[in-house]
Amino acid sequence: MSTRRHFAIFTTASLPWMTGTAINPLFRTAYLAKDGDKDVTLVIPWLCLRDQELVYPNKIVFDSPLEHESYVRHWIEERIDFRPSFSIKFYPGKFSKEMRSILPVGDITECIPDEVADIAVLEEPEHLTWYHHGRRWKNKFRRVIGIVHTNYLAYVRREKNGQVIACFLKYANTWVTRIYCHKIIRLSGATQDLPRSVICNVHGVNPKFLEVGKLKLRQLQNGEKAFTKGAYHIGKMSKLVGLEVDLYGSGEDSDEVCESAKRLSLSVNVHPGRDHADPLFHEYKVFINPSTTDVVCMTTAEALAMGKIVIYANHPSNEFFKQFPNCRIYDNEDEFVQLTLNALSEQPAPLTDAQRTHQSSRALLPAFLRTRKLKQNLEDASVYLHQALSGLEVTRCAFGAVPKTLQPEEHLCKDLGLAPPVKRKRLKFIR
């Protein structure tokens, strides 16, 4: 193999779905490719038209992967100050209404030719490998690094029989990440502890947010009024009695949020979701993030980069941000209200150059590439068991997979230029 490294970044979502696993891997890809000293490929899901209509906002759909790729490239090029050189490949995916997630279809390791299979970065490794049936990831790639984005256990505990499901899911996540990944990066302590894992926030922020922060600092230094608006929140509803807050967010719960605000007579102005880089947000001084389900909230990082005061809960997912002077941490509702009122009457502290560098998107992936390659009989047997279970339609469906996702359907193969699926022959038993 050539000494030139090749990174293949697999993720579970894609723009225009404005979710962290669509946006952060895209920025990671762009910045890894920036210097031109390595080959980088972003591997994202391709959905049929029916699933696109369920997932993508504002009725945005694509007739072809080429059209989708053009949209993704245009979006990233508008948000960075260089033109990255990287490839985009698509794997067949299906949207699960029950999980509100996109699940891979077939063996997605085939997206990368064997001759360039070097380093695989699995954004949400447990999600990508729950139902994986095909080439073993650690045999295909020299190094497989998983980046854990989501606290799945916290989400499933909310469901019926949530504690039981969470117990099972905990062991399933441990199982698949152990057998398919060499190393795991957990973005914060809010995620499940996994084998061979470290906690490190390898996300960064768009430099445009840092530019907004520098502008606000110059305005303050010149005695100008840098912030003309008070507080805003991006995401879900929280208890904000007595405070007037602008809330920005879209999704299936939008109508319920608006109705709740009216019913409780809250001073919350609910607006449709917007890109956080929108100039509309530049005038706000305070960002409120009461979430305790995020792993690392990137809107918090972006707000800090723009020079704002951020109010958030004392929670493991926010540990990384405690080093920044504009953070206000609360442990209960009374502290939350008081800190918010105080923040509205204060001026943010300026970010130092060192803090800006720490926030920069350039430091997106540390060198976790020197892990030893171990092969144990127990792990091989574990892989064999997982492959056997994931190769049966009845067990896949029993554990939550979308039906008929062992192989991509003909229309997905046609869209992606793949060979048509092999039809399995039915065995006839003669008495």
Range of the domain at 251: 207-359
Number of neighbouring beta carbons within 10 Å of residue 395: 13
Label residue 69 by pLDDT band (50, 70, 90).
very high
- Residue 123 and residue 57 in one domain: yes
- Asked if residue 430 belongs to a domain, the reply is no
How many structural domains is the chain composed of?
A: 2
| Out of 46-50, 64-68, 212-216, least confident range | 212-216
Q: Where are the beta strands (DSSP E) in 235-283?
A: 245-248, 268-271
Q: Are residues 190 and 277 in the same domain?
A: no
Mean pLDDT value across the chain: 86
SS3 for 160-171, per residue?
CCHHHHHHHHHH
Q: Are 286 and 340 in contact (CB under 8 A)?
A: yes
Alpha helices in 181-309 (DSSP H): 207-221, 254-263, 298-305
Alpha-carbon distance of 281 to 276, in angstroms, equals: 7
Judge if the upstream peptide bond of residue 290 is cis by omega within 30 degrees of 0.
no
Claim to verify: residue 69 and residue 198 sit in the same structural domain: yes
Higher pLDDT pick, 333 / 109 = 109
Please choose, from the candidates 258, 133, 124, the residue with its C-alpha nearest in 3D space to the C-alpha of residue 194.
124
For 77-136, give the DSSP string: HTTSSS----EEEEEEEEEETTTTEEEE-S-GGGGS-GGG--EEEEESHHHHHTT--SS-
At 26 the three-state DSSP class reads helix
Whether 72 and 221 share a structural domain: no
- Decide if 111 contacts 92 (C-beta within 8 A): no
Q: Check if the beta carbon of residue 342 is closer than 8 Å to that of residue 320.
A: no
Of the candidates 359, 385, 400, which is a domain's last residue?
359
Q: Return the structure tokens found at 314.
A: 């004392």
Residue 374 has pLDDT above 80, yes or no: no
Residue of 350 and 28 predicted with greater confidence: 28
Residues 164 and 232 in one domain: no
The Cα–Cα gap between 328 and 350 comes to 15
Indicate if the pLDDT at residue 249 is higher than 90. no
Lowest mean pLDDT, pick from 49-53, 69-73, 326-330 = 326-330
Question: Which of 359, 378, 403 is at the close of a domain?
Answer: 359
Between CA 30 and CA 87 the distance in angstroms is 10
The proportion of the chain whose per-residue pLDDT surpasses 90, expressed as a percent, equals 51
Helix (H/G/I), strand (E/B), else coil: 37:
coil
Residues 331 and 197 occupy one common structural domain:
no
Is the pLDDT at 46 greater than 80? The verdict is yes
Q: Which of 340, 359, 378 is the last residue of a domain?
A: 359
Structure tokens at 372: 């030893």
**Is residue 162 domain-resident?**
yes
Q: Is residue 92 a part of any domain in this protein? A: yes
Q: Give the other-Cβ count within 10 Å of 78's Cβ.
A: 10
What CATH number has the domain bearing residue 276?
A: 3.40.50.2000
Instruction: Yes or no: say if 410 and 420 are a contact pair by the CB < 8 Å rule.
Output: yes
Specify the residue for token string 């602008």: 246
- Can you give the pLDDT at residue 265? 61
**Model confidence, pTM:** 0.75
Q: Are 130 and 12 in contact (CB under 8 A)?
A: no
Nearest to 149 by CA among 94, 101, 112: 101
Say what the pLDDT of residue 206 is: 78
The rounded distance, in Å, linking the Cα atoms of 47 and 42 is 16
Contacts by residues 245-251 (CB-CB < 8 Å, ≥ 24 positions apart): 245/269, 245/288, 246/271, 246/284, 247/271, 248/272, 248/273, 248/274, 249/273, 250/57
Supply the pLDDT for residue 243: 60
Co-location of 143 and 185 in the same domain? yes
Indicate whether 84 belongs to any domain: yes
Same domain for 29 and 64: yes
1 within a domain of the structure (yes/no) = no
Predicted pLDDT at 49 = 96
Give dist(CA 49, CA 299) in Å, integer: 30
- The number of residues making up the chain comes to 431
Give 60's DSSP letter.
-
Q: What's the mean pLDDT in 344-353?
A: 85
- Per-residue pLDDT of 288-324, as tens digits, reads 888 777 777 788 888 888 889 999 889 888 888 888 9
3-class DSSP state of 285: strand
One-letter amino acid at 247 equals L
Residues 18 and 157 in one domain: yes
Half-sphere exposure of 128 (CA within 13 A, CB side): 32
| Whether 339 and 219 share a structural domain | yes
Q: Are residues 224 and 319 in the same domain?
A: yes
- Domain with residue 50: its CATH number is 3.40.50
Min mean pLDDT across 146-150, 238-242, 290-294 is at 238-242
In this structure, the answer to whether residues 191 and 43 fall within a common structural domain is yes
For position 357, what pLDDT does the model report? 60
Q: Which residue has the tokens 């890894």?
A: 32
Closest CA to 287 of 209, 352, 200: 209
The answer to whether position 364 is within a domain reads: no
Asked whether residue 423 is domain-assigned, the answer is no
- What is residue 111's predicted lDDT score, i.e. its pLDDT? 96
Both structure tokens of 183: 């190393």
